A = this chain, B = another copy of it.
């Protein structure tokens, strides 16, 4: 049995590093801002290293700072571990559960197994994946993507901080001493399976009154950075027809991407919109950069939204005054994913044992997760627990202590079931 109180204490203990955006007076009533490879992230990493080593785990850090803590099983030789993984980095205005719950629960499962003297056959362990959020370095699930062979290591190393291009993933790994020797790949550090406990980040479990989501896979998504170039000009003396106004064009593009996605039942969202720091009320900006995030469960629909958006952007670029230039780069590409049926069966069994057959639900993830990457290299699935009002990427993100503990218990039992299998 998971110790629900200790699980809560541990979650909030680790949230001392990066606590931000207070919304209430209670000690845990803040959100988080623990950007990947920040000083706060390094503190949380040190905690992970110490706790797992106390439990007798062997800790390996790979070239991208991924942290693998494995505990030997009873099999005569070491086996690729059955991993429980997630991430300790957060959004800049994130909450206390997204990613954090998965890693802390993994440690709690290891503690519970140790306390009960339960010996698995295979090695089991916990993983902390680097830069899952893609918030600071805009490629989500970055290090699990490199591990899975989807992203070249050098590309990840050279990713710049989205607001400070003088800093890269590599320079921050170096600064914090988190570049390990082991190759970041499923050959360098193979896994036997990957189970990830996570808050749902959406409203479905809560709305249907279920406690556990047995995750079938993840929807497809693609991220772009769109750059629109124009020309500085005086807002009072430059006729509309003589302008080359990137801020106006970008605004129209964002409105257009939203209506294209709406028509196709997809999602298109812009979270970041940047103008040069030398901007003023009475000057037309010279350049605008914005992000575009397109999602749908079906890869073909993501393709279609993308095609229609960039067709529309090119038309908008010619629409006003002297026109603007528009260019884009693909930052993240995560196709639709189906998880492993054996892993799913183990979670179904654990869920039925814990909450009965009507207490859980099959669900598809709207968000990307490291499990989407690991699933191409090892049997993988995820366990979702409800979060209040489906709110995530927000300081007030919340999962009740009971639901956290239930999720951790399901994680423990799924891993034990899988180990027996």
Number of interface residues of A (CB under 8 A): 76
Bound: A231/B271 CA distance, A:
12
Q: Which residue of B lies closest to A316 (CB)?
A: B255
Q: Are A235 and B282 in contact (CB under 8 A)?
A: no
Interface residues of A in 241-266 (CB under 8 A from B): 242, 245, 247-248, 250-252, 254-255, 258, 261-262
With A237-B366, A281-B293 as known contacts, state yes or no: A258 contacts B248, CB within 8 Å. Answer: yes
Instruction: Give the nearest-CB partner of A204 in chain B.
Output: B237
Which residues of B are found within 8 Å of A267, using beta-carbon distances?
A: 235-236, 239-240
Contact B138 A233 (CB under 8 A): no
Which parts of A351-369 form the interface with B (CB within 8 Å)? 365-368
Find chain B residues with CB under 8 A from A138 CB: 280-281
Report the bound CA distance from A287 to B136 in whole Å: 19
> Given the interface contacts A93-B283, A252-B255, A270-B248, does A277 sit within 8 Å of B163 by beta carbon?
yes
Assess whether A237 is in contact with B281, with CB atoms less than 8 Å apart: no
Structural contact, B262 and A255, CB atoms closer than 8 A: no
Q: Does A63 sit at the interface, judged by CB under 8 A?
A: no
Partner of A255, one of B251, B283, B391, B395: B251
Query: Chain A 215-234 against B: per-residue CB contact (8 Å), 1 yes, 0 no?
Result: 00001010100000001111
8 closest Cβ pairs, A-B complex = A92-B278, A237-B366, A135-B280, A202-B237, A235-B269, A251-B251, A251-B254, A232-B394
Pairs across A and B, CB under 8 Å, 9 listed = A91-B282, A203-B242, A223-B281, A234-B393, A236-B366, A237-B365, A250-B251, A271-B279, A282-B393
Chain A interface residues (CB < 8 Å from chain B): 33, 91-93, 133-136, 138, 140, 162-163, 200-203, 219, 221, 223, 231-240, 242, 245, 247-248, 250-252, 254-255, 258, 261-262, 267, 269-273, 275-286, 288, 291, 293, 295, 320, 331-332, 365-368, 390-395
